[in-house]
């Protein structure tokens, strides 16, 4: 699984960082993914963060 944050859409609410701190972090006022390739153990929380993101800014593929 790959993950990325569309910083054009992100509002910096921090929800993804709370949900999945191993993968997301705040960089300035916006979130970013610390990794591109998600470790298998983190796939569920990345999926959850993507579903919960109020701006639909988290892309998984
Ligand atoms: S949950 Fe979405 S809008 Fe909120 S910080 Fe994360 S990527 Fe940005």
Q: How far is CA 60 from CA 28, 36, 45, in A?
A: 22, 10, 12
Q: How far apart are CA 11 and CA 13, in angstroms?
A: 6
Domains of the chain: 3-60 (3.30.70.20)
Q: Are 58 and 49 in contact (CB under 8 A)?
A: yes
Length of the chain: 61
Cα–Cα distance measured from residue 23 to residue 21, given in angstroms and rounded to the nearest whole number: 5
CB of 38 sitting under 6 A from ligand 1? no
pTM score: 0.95
The CB of 12 under 6 Å from ligand 1? The reply is yes
The predicted-structure confidence for 5-60, as pLDDT tens digits, reads as follows 999 999 999 999 999 999 999 999 999 999 999 999 999 999 999 999 999 999 99
Residue closest via CA to ligand 1's atom 2 equals 53
Note whether 3 and 36 are within 8 A (CB): yes
């Amino acid at each position: 699984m790959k993950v990325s944050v569309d910083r054009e859409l992100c509002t910096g609410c921090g929800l993804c960082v709370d949900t999945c701190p191993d993968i997301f972090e705040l960089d300035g006022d916006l979130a970013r993914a610390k990794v591109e390739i998600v470790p298998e153990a983190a796939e569920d929380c990345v999926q959850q963060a993507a579903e919960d993101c109020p701006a639909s800014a988290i892309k998984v593929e």
